[in-house]
Amino acid sequence: MKQVIVMAMQGEFSHIVIVGGGFAGLTAAQNLKKQKNIKITIIDVNNYHVFQPFLYQVACGDLAPSDIAVPIREQFKNYKNISVIMDEATVIDSDKKIVFTKNATALNYDYLILAVGSEDNYFGNNHWREHTIGLKSLKNALKIRKELLETFERAEIANHKKHVTFTIIGGGPTGVELAGAIAELTKQAIRSDFTHINPLDTEIILIEAGSRILSSLAPSLSAVAQKSLEEKGIVIKLNSKVMDISPHQIKLWSGEKIESDLIIWAAGVKAKSIKHLLNKDEIKLGTNQRVLVKNDLSLPFNSNIFIVGDAAEIKGKDNKAVPALAAAATQQGKFIAKVIRARVAGSEKEYEFKYLNFGNMAIIGRYSAVADFTWIKFKGVLAWIIWDLAHIYFLIGFRNRLTVFVKWLWSYITHGKAERIIIK
Question: What ranges make up the beta strands (E) of 73-147?
Answer: 82-86, 89-93, 98-101, 105-108, 111-114, 118-120, 133-134
Cα separation, 403 vs 407, in Å, equals 6
Amino acid at 299: L
Output the CA–CA distances (angstroms, integers) from residue 302 to 96, 108, 376, in the order listed.
12, 15, 41
Q: Which of 390, 383, 391, 392 is nearest to 365 (CA)?
A: 383
227-228-231-234 Cα dihedral, nearest 10 degrees: -90
Cα separation, 306 vs 335, in Å, equals 11
* Catalytic residue annotation: 177
Amino acid at 302: N
Beta strand pairing status for 312-313 and 368-372? unpaired
Cα separation, 46 vs 21, in Å, equals 8
Find out whether 355 and 343 touch, Cβ atoms under 8 Å.
no
User: Angle at the Cα of 423 (from 419 to 424), degrees rounded to 5?
Assistant: 160
Cα separation, 201 vs 272, in Å, equals 39
